[in-house]
């Protein structure tokens, strides 16, 4: 009895093994199944297109970037390039100071003379203001003895300039301008005298200040008339 029971167990186990083997045979990865289950790759080297695309993009970027750059002007000097300087030959041509035509020697000499007088007169104008303002400053920057001495010298200098103007040879085309200049410088000389007298007076400074204002007005008018004389000479 035990033998029969043992034999039936063996056959039952063998049957179970066969059924397991039969089930496993349906799921084994055979070479045919492996080839069938693998995905097909049309390009075995897909990375080989990356470098050409990058190079192409760099070329396109460089092309459009260069097109957007502004064009160099004709006067642009390239770095590292030698600079050539062309020196034109000098000539003896004298550019006239008034207008586009050369003035006759008499007119030119007269204009040079009034220019020189005017330059000196404008220096005296600055001196007059410096003395007056320094004397009126609080605290006083210029004391009475110094102010009197400087104004006395100024009066003498204005008289000298007036004499120089009278000594000039006046062109007939500028006689009217000369008359205005003469009147103006005499007004300046009179105002300088009044400023000195006002300094020496016992008033509180009104005479001196009024004279200083008249002096600066006269010197400004003289400067304007010198310009008018130059314009008149150019138009004649």
CATH number, domain 105-235: 1.20.120
Q: How far apart are CA 177 and CA 174, in angstroms?
A: 5
DSSP symbol at 43: -
Mean pLDDT for the stretch of residues 9-27:
45
How does residue 56 score in pLDDT terms, banded at 50, 70 and 90?
confident
pLDDT for 36 beyond 60: no
Mean pLDDT for the stretch of residues 210-215:
98
Q: How far apart are CA 224 and CA 218, in angstroms?
A: 10
Per DSSP, the three-state class of 157 is helix
List pLDDT tens digits, range 164-196.
999 999 999 999 999 999 999 999 999 999 999
Q: How far is CA 130 from CA 184, 205, 221, in A?
A: 22, 15, 20
Sequence-separated (6 or more) residues with CB below 8 Å from residue 97: 103, 108, 111, 230
Q: How far apart are CA 132 and CA 164, in angstroms?
A: 26
Tokens of 98: 């008034």
List pLDDT tens digits, range 131-166.
999 999 999 999 999 999 999 999 999 999 999 999
Entry pTM: 0.59
DSSP assignment of 65-131: HHHHSPPPPTTPPPTTPPPP---PPP------SSTTSPPPHHHHHHHHHHHHHHHHHHHHHHHHHHH
The pLDDT score that the predictor gives to residue 208 is 98
Q: How far apart are CA 144 and CA 147, in angstroms?
A: 5
Q: How many residues does the chain have?
A: 236
Nearest-10 Cα torsion for 197, 198, 200, 204: 170
């Amino acid at each position: 009895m035990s033998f029969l029971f043992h034999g039936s167990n063996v056959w039952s186990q063998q049957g179970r093994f066969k059924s397991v083997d039969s089930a496993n045979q349906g799921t084994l990865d055979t070479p045919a199944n492996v080839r069938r289950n693998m995905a097909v790759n049309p390009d075995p080297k897909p990375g080989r297109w990356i470098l050409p695309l990058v190079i192409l993009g760099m070329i396109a970027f460089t092309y459009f970037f260069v097109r957007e750059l502004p064009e160099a002007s004709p006067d642009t000097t390239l770095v590292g390039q030698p600079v050539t300087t062309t020196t034109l030959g000098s000539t003896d041509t004298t550019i006239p100071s008034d207008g586009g035509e050369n003035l006759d020697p008499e007119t030119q000499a007269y204009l040079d003379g009034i220019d020189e007088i005017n330059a000196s007169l404008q220096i005296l104008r600055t001196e007059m203001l410096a003395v007056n303002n320094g004397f009126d400053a609080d605290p006083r920057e210029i004391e009475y003895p110094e102010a009197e001495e400087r104004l006395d010298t100024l009066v003498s200098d204005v008289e000298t300039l007036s004499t120089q103007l009278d000594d000039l040879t006046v062109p007939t085309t500028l006689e009217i301008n000369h008359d205005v200049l003469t009147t103006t410088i005499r007004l300046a000389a009179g105002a300088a005298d009044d400023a000195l007298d006002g300094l020496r007076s016992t008033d509180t400074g009104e005479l001196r200040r009024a004279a200083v204002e008249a002096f600066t007005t006269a010197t400004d008018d003289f400067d304007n008339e010198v310009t008018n004389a130059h314009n008149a000479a150019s138009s004649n």
